[in-house]
Amino acid sequence: MALFGRILFKKKNAVETFIVAGLGNPGPEYAMTRHNCGFRAIDILAAKLGIDFSKSKFQAKYGEKKMEVKGVEVRVILMKPQTYMNNSGTAVAAAADFYKVPLSNIIVIYDDFDVSLGEVRVRAGGSPGSHNGMESVTSHLSGTEFPRVRVGIGRKMPNEDVIKFVLGNFSPEQEEIIGASLKRAADAAYMIITEGVDKAMNRTNGKAKNG
């Protein structure tokens, strides 16, 4: 349920908490790979909100900020799991349990080769598909009904190894396209928090247009 569907029923001084997790692999050797679109997008969102990742807990780097959204105090927690992609769920679930955050307030940003390069898609929930990081997240959260932002990285060549593909870098031409997509993904996550997942889907889904 969107934030604004609940605000009339919350106590005056209650704080609404959101966790936004960008998925990726730690280390400079992975920084610009296709599999690190989640890290890169959340870095853009962090810059937008003035949040740094100076805190370390939950096997993750994270930062947080409180802001007001239409009269409601909102705590936004941005995190980058340091567990490596396939174990991302351990970090996300630990943070969600610590802050008592419901599934509907957990937003995950990640790369997806089932989405065309240049597209960003927002979903309110659903299966993890073929993404191992999301499989870990859904398994550790024991549920799939949480918003996610999928950054399209395009499909591999027919005979190309999947692991080599997702751990490879974009070409210079592709990097121009993905740069616009990452900004759009960061904006989509912010929109889920401030306006709800339905509006974020309506305004985001489809191909990016010049960033």
Q: What is the pLDDT of residues 167-193, one digit of tens each?
A: 999 999 999 999 999 999 999 999 999
Q: Is residue 2 part of a domain?
A: no
pTM for this model (two decimals) = 0.91
3 located within any domain? no
For residues 37-53, one letter each, b for 16 or more C-beta atoms within 10 angstroms of the residue's C-beta and e for the rest, the string is: bbbbbbbbbbeebebeb
48 within some domain:
yes
Length, in residues, of the chain: 211
For residue 8, being part of any structural domain is answered with no
Mean pLDDT score of the chain: 92
| pLDDT value of position 208 | 58
CATH code, 26: 3.40.50.1470
Q: What is the pLDDT of residue 211?
A: 42
In a domain, 9, yes or no: no
Residue 5 lies in a domain: no
Residue pointed to by tokens 């005979």: 159
**Catalytic: which of 16, 24, 34, 35?**
35
The answer to whether residue 5 scores a pLDDT higher than 80 is: no
Q: Would you say residue 105 lies in a domain?
A: yes
Are 21 and 106 within 8 A, CB to CB?
Answer: yes
Residues 16-64 pLDDT 10s: 999 999 999 999 999 999 999 999 999 999 999 999 999 999 999 999 9
Strand, coil or helix: 100: coil
Is 135 a residue whose pLDDT tops 90?
A: yes
Is 125 within a domain? yes
Number of structural domains found in the chain: 1
- Can you tell me the mean pLDDT for 146-160? 94
Confirm whether 140 is a catalytic residue: no
Structural domain span for residue 37: 14-207
